[in-house]
A and B are shown apart, each in its own frame.
Chain A
């Protein structure tokens, strides 16, 4: 059951895709909870399953290739993986909403911003008449820091800059004051100074509205900046889950350790060789049996390749590694 502190619970989620070469499992027994009013970061590299996790929660997997094969997503007493489509339509956008990396592909290019935003209100808050909805729409645009919101309502997406478009996306996501906002790489396509603006805005809005945020990114710096908890994913599984301060103070999974020390930092001496994680992520068609990180791990042993380690509590966190307390060479 979902208790009062958690707004969402994902249990043993398995998601797979049909490809030309057979079914591949993109998520393999993924379990986590999202705390009320908090921000959970999901970090990992391309193909680790972070976006698939979001799409599975929203039941927006590409059809017919994507399928949830097992597990459940508990929200407000309902298992979203089994909820009827009509129920999902009521939840999506109103109770749980999602924003994407590239607002240009998420916004309709041939409709004015205002018309698209009013559609959100007509769908989810049909009791509002057009005037009230227009007022609410202008209000939310203003709330996300857009100047001259009434004028912006009459503009098309291509007339806006990347930063403003992302603000518009956030306005769409927040129009119905959702319980959960899923943000999939919302700042990745933006310049750093604009990214700083958007992160600042999301922090403020969370404070005001009290929603939970699932923040998906590949950028460890952004995680450190905005998240309360972090979940590190690797090849469709969770490698480590901890509070942000614990994770960065003392990463325990060799993948997390490796990732954190491979990033160039402003305060590190220049032109020194960086520590690396050798090799590449195994392909989903061809996953090793044991720990999926074993081939790239300096600490890998026979038992790592024989059987995958479970995600278990160690040192105030969850970590899926037999050697969680050993330093990397």
Chain B
């Protein structure tokens, strides 16, 4: 069945990430010497178009959150280049970087731990204005009230503390804080994973609405493929620090090319008992990113793995014959048996 949702306008590229790599050192022994690295993100290329939502999906430890945080310079990257709006972040001085942070914000999974419990909601929301010296002190109240209204909270919320709110309301506060400086890019890091089902849809709607109104660009990070699919124009599937597949979200769901994406889609429990599907149950666990498998990192769990997969690492290549890109990192992508999803 053809869906009518339009693909994103081929907007200009707002954020470009090339060869992004982030290793976390593993220390040990009595002198705390570096014994190895957790290769959380290992060579990721992404181009995020202005106004689109780019989904990053994968299981725990695949590096999706690390990508988000490294882009924001919350982690210092090991290697790679991050270009935002045509400017390489490495070339910026402290002051320029600080100014640029206004354009890049983040919403965290746990709205409780990410809000200062000793500050009132009003103090939390005016902080961005104070730090970036925007508006006069006398304007602050009005700015905070406008923000609260945008995210569907009453003005009276300003004088209360985060613990007085439910999880969904706290996430609204987190979103209000991210919206405060009118950013262009918001990284949404599992924004609804900690919320109840009936609250999830409220928050997802709020994010969609704000995107439409303010022409925001999102990087939407989640382990829940159904949520990512709902929110995103294009999706990158990550496994052990690398992107294994990247394409339009409808296309990914209809005709995934990488065996891992197949397994991921088939493992999602569908709220419909009559829905019969071929479930692919992967054996084993995700290997440790400290010591990833040789060749294709997925070969230890892949039922199609050949000798070549153990030896040679597949590159992410375009397998689309049309205008839309469809990238997959698998030696045999496209030649694997079709699977109805």
* Cross-chain contact A266 with B267 (CB below 8 angstroms): no
Q: Which of A244, A266, A269 has the most CB of B within 10 A?
A: A266
For B212, give the chain A residue with the smallest CB separation: A271
Among A245, A248, A264, the residue within 8 A (CB) of B227 is: A264
Q: Please, how many angstroms separate the alpha-carbon atoms of A220 and B169 in the complex?
A: 23
**Which A residues are in CB contact (< 8 Å) with B3?**
269-270
Specify which chain B residues have a CB less than 8 angstroms from the CB of A260 in the assembled complex: 271
Q: B229 contacts which of A196, A259, A266 (Cβ < 8 Å)? A: A266
B197 touches A259 (CB 8 A): yes
- Establish whether residues B208 and A263, one from each chain, have CB atoms under 8 Å apart when the complex forms: no
- Report the stretch among B16-24, B182-190, B275-283, B306-314 that lies at the interface: B275-283
Residues on B with beta carbons closer than 8 Å to the beta carbon of A195: 267, 269
B282: shortest Cβ distance to chain A, in Å? Answer: 5
Least CB distance from A145 to B in Å reads: 9
CB distance A276 to B270 under 8 Å? no
Q: Is the CB of A280 within 8 A of B230?
A: no
- Chain B: interface residue total (CB-CB under 8 A): 52
The answer, among B197, B226, B281, for a CB contact under 8 Å with A265, is: B226
| CA distance in complex: A172, B151 (Å) | 46
Cβ-closest 5 pairs across A and B = A221-B269, A264-B230, A191-B59, A45-B196, A262-B201
Judging by beta carbons under 8 Å apart, are B275 and A264 in contact?
no
A108 within 8 A of B: no
Residues of A within 8 A of B200 (CB): 262-263
Task: Report the minimal beta-carbon distance from A225 to chain B, rounded to whole angstroms.
Answer: 5
> Contact size class for A?
35 or more
Cross-chain contact B205 with A46 (CB below 8 angstroms):
no
Inter-chain contact B230/A270, CB cutoff 8 Å: yes
Q: Mark A160-178, 1 if CB is under 8 A from B, else 0.
A: 0101100000000000000
**B274 and A193 contact, CB distance less than 8 A:** no
Q: In this assembly, does B178 line the interface, its C-beta being within 8 Å of a C-beta of chain A?
A: no
Q: Give chain A residues whose Cβ lies under 8 Å from the Cβ of B5.
A: 269-272
B223 at the binding interface (Cβ < 8 Å): yes
- Chain A residues near B238: list those with CB within 8 A: none
Across-interface contacts of B267 in A (CB, < 8 A): 192-193, 195-196
- A89 in contact (CB, < 8 A): no
Q: Are B201 and A224 in contact (CB under 8 A)?
A: no
Question: Which residues of B sit under 8 angstroms from A163, Cβ to Cβ?
Answer: 285
Q: Which residue of B lies closest to A230 (CB)?
A: B273
B202 within 8 A of A: yes
Question: Would you list which residues of chain B between 118 and 173 have a CB under 8 Å from chain A?
Answer: 166, 168-169
Inter-chain contacts of B91 with A (CB < 8 A): none
- List B contacts of A46 (CB < 8 A): 196
- Given A192-B267, A193-B282, A271-B233, output 7 extra A-B contacts at Cβ < 8 Å: A46-B196, A259-B198, A266-B229, A270-B230, A270-B232, A274-B205, A281-B196
Contact between B230 and A271, CB atoms less than 8 A apart = yes
Cβ of A49 within 8 Å of any chain B Cβ, yes or no, is: no
Pick from A164, A225, A249, A272: contact of B285, CB under 8 Å: A164
Docked Cα-Cα span, A222 to B272, in Å, equals 10
Asked whether, in the complex, the Cβ of A248 is within 8 Å of the Cβ of B273, the reply is yes
Residues from chain B with a CB closer than 8 A to the CB of A136 are: none
Chain B residues with CB below 8 A from A111, complex form: none
When distances are taken between beta carbons in the complex, the residues of chain B under 8 Å from A200 are 279, 281
Residues B260-314 near A (CB distance < 8 A): 263-275, 279, 281-283, 285-286
CB of B323 within 8 Å of the partner chain: no
Question: CB-CB < 8 A to B201: which residues of A?
Answer: 262-264, 274-277
B333 at the interface (CB under 8 A from A): no
A286 contacts the other chain (CB 8 A) = no
A275 to chain B, nearest CB (A): 7
Enumerate 16 A-B pairs (CB-CB under 8 Å) in ascending A order.
A192-B225, A193-B281, A196-B266, A199-B269, A224-B275, A248-B274, A259-B197, A260-B271, A264-B227, A266-B270, A270-B249, A271-B208, A273-B208, A277-B198, A278-B202, A280-B166
A285 → chain B closest CB, angstroms? 14
> What's the nearest-Cβ distance from chain B to residue A253, in Å?
13
Q: In the complex where A264-B226, A264-B230 touch, is A192 in contact with B268 (Cβ < 8 A)?
A: yes
The reply on A197 being an interface residue by CB < 8 A is: yes
Find A220's partner among B227, B271, B281 (CB 8 Å cutoff): B271
A220–B197 touching, CB < 8 Å:
yes
Q: Which residues of A contact B181 (CB under 8 A)?
A: none
Q: A79 an interface residue at 8 Å Cβ cutoff?
A: no
Within 8 A of A (CB), among B310-336: none
* B47 within 8 A of partner (CB): no
Q: How far is the CA of A194 from the CA of B253 in the complex (A)?
A: 20
Q: State whether the Cβ of B250 lies closer than 8 Å to any Cβ in chain A.
A: yes
Q: Which residue of A lies closest to B167 (CB)?
A: A46
A143 an interface residue at 8 Å Cβ cutoff? no
**Bound CA–CA A54/B233 (angstroms):** 42
B71 at the interface (CB under 8 A from A): no
The residue of chain B having its C-beta at the shortest distance from the C-beta of A191 within the complex is B59
Give a binary string over B224-266; 1 marks a CB under 8 Å from any A CB, 0 the rest: 0111011111000000000000000110010000000001111
